[in-house]
Each structure stands twice: as C-alpha cells, then as structure tokens.
A = this chain, B = another copy of it.
Amino acid sequence: MPNAHDPQLLKGVLSLLLLCLLAERESYGYQLVQRLREIGLSDISDGTVYPALTRLEREGRVTSRLVTSRSGPARKYYRPTEAGYAALAQGTVHWLSLADVVNPVLSRPIPAQPAPPSEEV
C-alpha cells in the first residue's frame, strides 16, 4: 500500500488540485476522480470529489454545464471562473508558503533520540 494517504493532510489541498486540473482542462466529476487517481491519489473516493465540486460552484469558483452523453447520464462539465483562477493563484501561494514552513522543519536533523530506557520488566 504505497498510497495510504492521511485524510487530514488532504484537507484544503483537494479543492486546490481540482481548480488546477480544471484550469488545465474542462472536466466532469467522474473524470476528475479518474484524473486524481492517475496522478497518485489512488484511493480517493467520489463521495469526496462531488461535494468538493459543489462547494467550489457554490463559492463561485467554477461554473458547470451539462452535456448529454451517449453512454450514460449527462455529464456535468466544470471549469474555473475568474474568481476560480484567482483562488488558484492564491491557494498556490498558500500551499507553497506552508511547504516553506514544513519542509525546512522536516529536514532538520533529529538530535539523537534518547534511547528509551530499556524498561527491565
């Protein structure tokens, strides 16, 4: 299981990823789930993505249009609005500045863990 990701770590990042993928290419929900899995989020669930898209739309960061499909129900294609592009830019800044905080700390050498006293039982 190379990809048992911590759900908590994903928080806030997902909407950023979605905006980014949509800026790259107009997509519908089911397709986004597949694209996310392809780029490495192998165990993401659609119950996570659809609500996230709904939120983004409610917040005015994406718009959608329905396109009928010949192999199933209509697809709801999303793409960023102007506000979405702005949010993408700002979210990117936030992510990068968080990484700028976390990475240096993680890469600082851990001083000799005091060998836990081998608790004679």
Chain A contact residues: over half helix, strand or loop, or mixed?
A: helix
A46 to chain B, nearest CB (A): 18
**Count, chain A residues at interface, CB 8 A:** 46
The yes or no answer to A13 lying at the interface (CB within 8 A) is yes
Q: Tell me which residues across on chain B come within 8 A of A103, comparing CB atoms.
A: 99
Q: Tell me which residues across on chain B come within 8 A of A97, comparing CB atoms.
A: 2-3, 5, 40
CA distance A6 to B96 in the complex (A): 12
The yes or no answer to A98 lying at the interface (CB within 8 A) is yes
User: Is A9 a contact partner of B6 (Cβ separation < 8 A)?
Assistant: no
Q: Mark A1-13, 1 if CB is under 8 A from B, else 0.
A: 0110111111111
User: Is A95 a contact partner of B24 (Cβ separation < 8 A)?
Assistant: no
The yes or no answer to A49 lying at the interface (CB within 8 A) is no
Q: B-contacting residues of A (Cβ < 8 Å)?
A: 2-3, 5-13, 16-17, 20-21, 23-25, 39-41, 80-82, 85, 88, 91-92, 94-106, 108, 110-111, 113, 116
